Structure 1
Amino acid sequence: MEFFLGAFESEWERRRAALLHERSLGRGKNSEEEERRRRGGAVPTASLTAGRKHGGAKRGRRSAGFRAGDGFGAREPSMRSRFASLASGSQPAVVKMASFGGGNRLGAMIGYISRNGDVAVENERGEQLRGRNELSTVRGEWDHLMKNRAESRDIGSFVVEVKDQVDPAGDIHEQARAILKRGLGDRMFAFAASPRNDDKGFTVEGVTVLRDSMGERLTGDGKASAIVQGRLDGDEGEQIVATTFRFTGYGNGTDYGSARLRDLIGRHQGAVQDEQGGVIADAKQAGDVVQLKWRGGLHSRKPRDIMHVILSARAGTDVQAFHAAAREFLAQEFAGYRYVSSLHDPSKDPKAEEAGGKRPHVHVHAIVAMRSDAGDRIETTIAVFRRWRVTMAEKARAHGINMEMTDRRERASASAYSKNQVRPTNRHGRTEHKGTSEVAQRRYDAKRSDRHSFTQTERSRRYTDFARRQWEALATEHDDKRVEGFARSQVIRLESEVMSDHPRPHGGRKTERLRSQFITHLVSLEEIVSRDEPMRQMSRSEFEAYEKRVEVALFQAERVTPADERANFDEIASAAREHVSVRRELMELQEQNGERIASDEPRLREGDNDANVRWDKAVACHGLRTVEAANEIMLEVEHYREAIDLADAGEISANKASLQASLDLVLARVGELGASGNTLIREIAEVDHDLRIAIEAAERARERGGKLTSETSGSSGIPAVPAAQEIFRDRDDELSRVRTEEQRNRPVADGTRPSRDRASPPSGDATRTDPAQQHIPRLEQLQRETDERQERERDDRER
């Protein structure tokens, strides 16, 4: 039978078909390829193998230094290229090992990733499985690969009935503790004692570690109950105290122990003690006892017949492209193994958000058998995890997704927390967790706030130092300001490791580390607030995401703010929140304009054509650069004028004085631009009274030697405050003269106008000699035209 690989469109389909074809013919991979696949890299050469046999000299020389792509040769991109891609916005490749399980957990794990059959599951042959009946066939196909080894019994719950007290006047907790130590030996336990209804004895409920310090493990069942009961009865069959002991349940791991201990505390508030007499008052202390005290003595083990792997991408990633990349990743890395996978698309997830569904990012779950049909077993080492991330990034880029492999040592990122260290408290959006112990809470906080965490091994420190030099080179050589800023923030982050090796005054290493983290978070905040397009209009969803990023950055910076930097932080936070408020106003204005445009679309289309014609005429008359400069600054003028009008009408809540001050500063810039020779600005000023006054004031300032140059302007191009005040003082004086003239010409009660001859001018009045007063009729005309234009615009908005 002929076999055509070209009939398959996707790479993963061709790989799967080729493998199945080889196995149908009784072939397989040669030993060298199989060795390479199992080791996760190149097959060791004879000389390297010999070196390892004789003390590992070759390995020592190999690990002496680092180069970009160390460990995977040509497959892994250079560190510099990965860093440049990450700084440009590429997302990290996320391949997480969620859990392991025994064969008896296969059905439950497949049910979880398939949402109990509501989401399609795909196996390694590309077959779609839907519904519980089809999913149940997986267990039968995989049964020969499952060892079905039982998990260890680590924690047991028990009940002791004490029929008669040795000392009725004594403390029942002390008596209960003595009884439990005699029956359980040196095992760790927690218990609560309560009097019986017959007033003669008491009942003890508790939880115990089933393994003692010598390695003896009780099974937590009836047989174990008999063993403990025998110890309580005494060597000669006579009970020291009349007691009855029985185990009521058992389980595996810290999760089970924490749940049983919290349940015990819930039923006996404030009355739970441990074997040393310490009180366990609440659920938090229960978690601390299990995680910090009991965990090391459990020697817990679970079968590893299957593993649960999660591949995820950022929110907004193309779902179909990511699904195709995940398929090819699984086909390459788990060729020859059995697996099933399921895509969780947030928009199609049948599970409610409150129950843990509809996660905001697309991800793929995969359940993989740890052993292949040929008897090979999957290795789960750090090198293999790194290779998986490299492969996932390759497949994603092949489908148009910008993704790169990352190593936490390259940014000194904190270690990940496990699912046993936290429990969810809020599943809306990104799930919020709470640590099950103080140590777990610190680890969770460190990861969520992106704190620094430097590994201490010599090899890892050399790797981090090499990464820092690569970030420095990228910051020096790259032309893109955003890439340069991102790279410099990473250099600052990694340099804190060097600073932490040298004690500093005023708090020493801890203060210096906090200061470095504070600077890093401020750099991140600056990147968020001041992008290349600082005032780009946003949709409401974009603005809400932007506002959340700013608040998260402020929260992270505030947590590590040194005491002597508190005033600076408060000033920065106030400025950042003011910037967010301005963006909110822009977004709301854009929404209002969008509604007005939608209500009168035909007229707007005609207006767009008119605007294009006017633009072309202006460019032909004044030149492209002149028109662009004038258009850009006039957009700012109109923005603040419209915001002031809306504030007057009560449609937005804004500080009108602040808006007017901003408008005055922008008009000062318009005046300087017109005084510098921008002909379009001067043409607009003929019908815009404020612009004309600003230009005339700027020209007078130039004549008096007060030209607004870069020496009198800030870095943002805004004129210095004294110069702006001088310009608008002139404007206010002229407006005052106009209003005085209007009042002078206003009719009196008898319908006549007061005669100028009858009203003697005040002392020092220069009306007749001041040239500016000769232009009052023209100014009145300009003022009326401006008022009429604003009235028409207000009517358009109200319609």
Structure 2
Amino acid sequence: SATITAALRPFTGQNDPIAVFTKVAALAVANDEDEKRRRGGGGGGGRPVPTVVAKTTRGPSHAQAIAARAGIAAGAQPAMFKVISTAGTKGAAGALLEYLGTRPDEDGKKHDIEVFTSSGLSVETPEQRRALLEEWQEDFREAFQNTNFIEVDVELSGDPGQDDLHDALNAAFGSKPFVYARAGSTVKVYAYTEMKAAALAEALQKLDHENGRSGVLQRADDGITTRLKDAGVAGRAEIKAAVSTERGGQYFLQKFIRANAGVIKSDGEELPAGQRADKAAQALYASWKSDFKTVEPRNVYHVVFSARAGTDARALLRAAENVLAEKIPDHKWAIAHHAETGHVHVHAMILARSESGRQLHFSKADLYDWRATYAEKAREEGIAMVATSRMDFAASRPFNMRQAGAYERSRRDTRYSVSPTIAERVEAKRQAVFEAKTIAAYGAGISRGWQQTATMTRAAMPGSQADAGVAAFSAAIARVAAVQSSELRTTTLSSSREGTSLSPSVEKVDTLIDLTRRIQEIMSMELSPLELRRKIADVSKAFDRIDGSLSKKEDKQELAGIREEMNGLMNERLNDVRVQAATGGTGTADTVRDEGRPLREKDQQAKTQDRANEQNPRQPDKQAAPGTVAGKKAERQADRMERQNRDTQRSLDDDRER
């Protein structure tokens, strides 16, 4: 079984990895800028892409990916940055700070170690740690109640009795409090839920611009429908509204009671017919509060910067401090090096709320940005490190600390067992084995990426052997892909001869191959932002269909990971298309005419045109001229939408904690 380490080992250490990365990155960036100018029709007079535009794309750029692959092949280590855990209470935060500031000796006795803070102080004693925690606690948020509510319409396929329907609704909504009203074959439900109502509300808003329900909304609908079916009632559930605030929850409960006759509570009692809607809603909401889930906010994050054994620990500590200073300049943090581990580990504790009141979050794109900054700061300290993507290496999916702990316990204690999936994942990751399913679906594309890297490395460093490792790794990927493809064909042929259907996993790979080819076609098309968004919506529906065909939980989880990665690539392409529209990439004449216009104005015009096209798809290329009455009206509408988006984003920042 081929491994990533074996494919790279013969070529590491032959060149200075930092020099390889720097030279390849410079050439790749120059080539990308030339390509952008060519796409723009030669306009721009050789102007570089403005920094503010370049930073709108999340995740690795094409040039960054090429340079990172070249650096890895030359011997650089991948940047390892992880969010380990969070703490919501003073006790949990105190335990985390104690973990940072103490280490056990050979006898197991704990002793204090030095912890450095964002203010430049050195904390070494229990008293100093308690004082630091008291200072941080002033910015802790209190625990809050989950106030997420949804309104659902259920279209019944049959005619279940009242008792059967009532029991099925209780099963479908997890015995959470709700009210419902039935009119013929339609059942309307207003329910408390632990789903994230803000995300559902955002998905519902997008229905105005996209065809069909998809993503989180479709999964929520399907979940309710499935639970109803399992409880013996066939029907189709659709979420019609979602709200995530206490005030909104009370208001829409009152509205539901006023709009529907014969409202029944989840305990089977019917609301009195003559009672005022506002009084009934107030009393009902008060009775529901005991069922509301209390949520501990993320007041503190525990993150770790790690590197290979033998890395200069002091240099790594300086790099980690520089990352924190750059990424979160207005957050408080504490950092310490734990010297007793095999790998070099620097642990940090971050106060989630900044001095300006902004809450820290880590999305997948954020994690890549942190890794990229970490690698950059490490290189500045002389550590050869680059930020990589799992897809570039067809690497096995990572495991978490809980899975690793369970696996280690199962090896020590025969009475304790874990699922084969967890055992395989832990072993595959530790042995750096190629992930077969990823190679089967994306091997050709991954190999092409490494071939491009070899060509770029050869051009950036002529006469050196720096490209040898890159070319060898590309060949290794191609060989494994050929083996996987052969096995897949053999399985397909065998199944056909025996007259049996393919396994779900093989069917999934076949479907993913087709979908991947479609995504590659979309990525290479010259599309407007609106056209690309519609293509992305079509891809999302295709992923939904694949997900619906899978039965195994692990297959669904794997598909979700692949889907997230593909969504990241397509959204990156969408950002690039929007940037081209914002910078006037439509020809020399347009570039000259747009000379001197602020970038913000160009970007706003592009967004305004995108929305105008959505409202009038028959005239996608017609655009109101800036300064005209129509143009000013469109810009005012765009400004309104931007303000609404900002308000929604602030609401989402709070709701992500729920």
Query: TM-score if structure 2 supplies the norm length?
Result: 0.39
Structure with greater contact order relative to length (CA < 8 Å, sep ≥ 6): 2
TM-score normalised to structure 1 length: 0.32
